[in-house]
Structure 1
C-alpha cells in the first residue's frame, strides 16, 4: 500500500466539509443539550466487512474540531475489517466528538466502500499481471480522497487532472481529422516528459497507431473479449494496453486473462456502495 498523504494536503477538503456541516452557528443541538465538561469514549465501528479507507481523514476531521481529542486508529487504511470490528476510538469532549461525527462517518463510509469495491476487482486479476485503475469519474471536489481510496483497495490511479498526461479520446480524433493528425501533432509538440495515451475502438485504428508511433499507451475502448485478445497479439508487447468500457466485476477475470496491462473502471468511484459504519458512545 502507498504511504499516506500528508495531513496538510487533505485538510482543505475536510475543512470544507466541516464548514458545510457546522453552518453559520455551529452544532446548536449539542451546544444546547450537552454540558461542555462532559467527556466520553466513542467507537467507530464497522457494521459490515470490507477494506478500510478514510481513517486518516476521520482522524483529521475530529482533530480539526478539537485538537485535544485522543484518537487511536485500530484498523488502518488499506486493511480488511470484519463486521463489528472497532476501527477507531475517540476520547474526550462529547460535544467535540458529536460535532465531527457526521463528516468523519461520511468520508469513512464512502471511501471504505470504494476501497472494498476496488479490492473485489483486484481479486479477479489474481494470477495475471493486469492492474485495476480508476478514472476521472469522481465526485467533484473529492477526487483526491476517492483516488486515495482506490489505492487502499489495491488499485492504481489514472490521471488526476487534464494536465497529468495527454489522453487522446475519440472526440479529439474526430475534431482533429483522424488518428494520423493527432499523433503527428503529439510528435511535433508534446514535451519529452509527457506520457501519451490514445483511445481506439477498432483493430484497424490500433494498427494505425502502431504504424504511426507517438503513443505510449493505447486505450482499447468497449471491445469484446475476443477482440481484446487479437489486440494484445497485434501489439506484441510494443505499447501499454488499457481495456476500458463495460468493465463490470463479472467480466474482469476474463479481460485480465487476455494480457492487457490495465483495466480501468469508472464504477470504482461513481458506483461504489457506501459501507455501513457507525459511531457509538
Structure 2
C-alpha cells in the first residue's frame, strides 16, 4: 500500500490534518479512559467527583466482585464457547464453499454466485428465519445461532476471489503428484491463504463475541446467554431492580464499567496481532471479481 508523504506540504494544511486527527483521537480515547478509570474508582469517589479521568483512590473491588459473580462467569464461558465453536464453523464452511466456487469447472457456479449475491441485497427477514429455526426445533440451542450466521456472503465472495488468485500451476503440479482435491485444499491452498484466513477469522470472532440480538431471539434460558446480553441487562436495569435480583448486591457504577472493560479486553488483545494481515488479505482478495 502506497504511503502518503506530507513533507513539503502547506503548513496550514498540515495544521488542519493534525488538528482533525487530534480531535478524532480525543473523541475516541477520552470515553475509553473514563470507563477504565471509573472501573478502578470507589463508589464514594464516583458519587463525589462525577467526571474524572484519573481516580484518587485505586481499587480492584469491582473486578474482584465480577470474578466471583456466578452469572458473569457463566456468561463469560458462554461467550468463549460461542466464539470458538461459532468461528470454527464459520471458517470451515466459508472456506470450503469459497474454494469450490473459485473453480471454473464447477457446474452451476454462476447460479450459486448469483444466489449468494442476492442474499447480500435481500434477506428472508427476522420472522421467517425465526419460524424456520422453530420448525427445526433449534430454539434454546446454540445451533440456532451457529447455523443462522454460518456464512457471511461478503466474506465468502472476497475469500473466493482470493482463492482464484492462487496460481493454477501449483494445483496442476499437485494433481500430477497424486494429490486429492481435499488434500490440495488443506495442505497447499490454506497455507498460502493465511492473510485472508486470519482476516476473516477475526471478523467472524468479533461478530460471534458481540452476539446479542440473536441470543435474545433464540435463547430463552438465561444460563445460556452470552456476555453481551448479561452486560446489556446489567447496564439497562435500575440499581434497585438489580440489587433485588442479584443476592442483594448492587451493581455499582464501577462494577458496570469493569464489566465493559472485561467484555472489550479479549478483542483489544487479539486485534494488534492480526492487524498486519488486514490490508494484505482484503486487497489480494479484491483483485478479481
Length-normalised TM-score, structure 1: 0.24
* Structure possessing the higher relative contact order (Cα contacts under 8 Å, 6 or more residues apart): 2
Q: Which has the larger radius of gyration?
A: 2
The answer to which structure has the higher strand fraction is: 1
Structure having the larger proportion of residues in helix: 2
